[in-house]
Amino acid sequence: EIAYTRELHKACPSIRDYCMGFYIHTCPKMRYKGNFSPSRLLCPETYTWHPIEKCKPLLDASKYSRFEDDPKKVDENAVHDLDEVAILYNRVVIPYKKYVRLKGNTDRAEVKEYANLVGRKCIKRLFFTASRDGRQPVHSNS
């Protein structure tokens, strides 16, 4: 993997970063990823990158850690207003607010989870498919 990234950089020097996938701090086979500099880890709450040297002590203390120091910082791609979610219901795409007026708030947890997984950048290009008969909703591309 490291040799591959070096080859990539030789072929295309404008490549500044290469994501090496998951890093499991307790897995000895993955520790090599942190031995190359610079190495950064993604904060699981704010989705911001942080130097691995800063993250290692946090991971030594706890398997799960927030790396972002600013307690007020949040995921900038999070959907805060469910009205941003489009719902496909009866073959018509409608805003979530209208769906709630028609069907009630029974799918709120699923719609909220969908919005959190999709994020603000993609939510405008996708819609949530709601079932007419009350079965579990599914997610669809528009």
8 shares its domain with 47: yes
The count of domains in the chain is: 2
Q: What percent of the residues of the chain are helix, what percent strand, and what percent coil, each to the nearest 5?
A: 40, 15, 45
Q: Which two tokens stand for residue 127?
A: 């819609």
- 81-127 confidence digits (pLDDT tens): 888 889 988 889 999 999 999 888 878 888 888 888 888 888 888 88
Output the CA torsion 38→44→47→52 (10° steps): -10
Q: Is 114 a domain residue?
A: yes
Q: Is 8 a domain residue?
A: yes
When pLDDT is cut at 50, 70 and 90, the band that residue 53 belongs to is very high
pLDDT of residue 16: 78
- 68-81 confidence digits (pLDDT tens): 999 999 888 888 88
Range of the domain at 104: 82-141
Q: Is 66 a domain residue?
A: no
pTM: 0.61
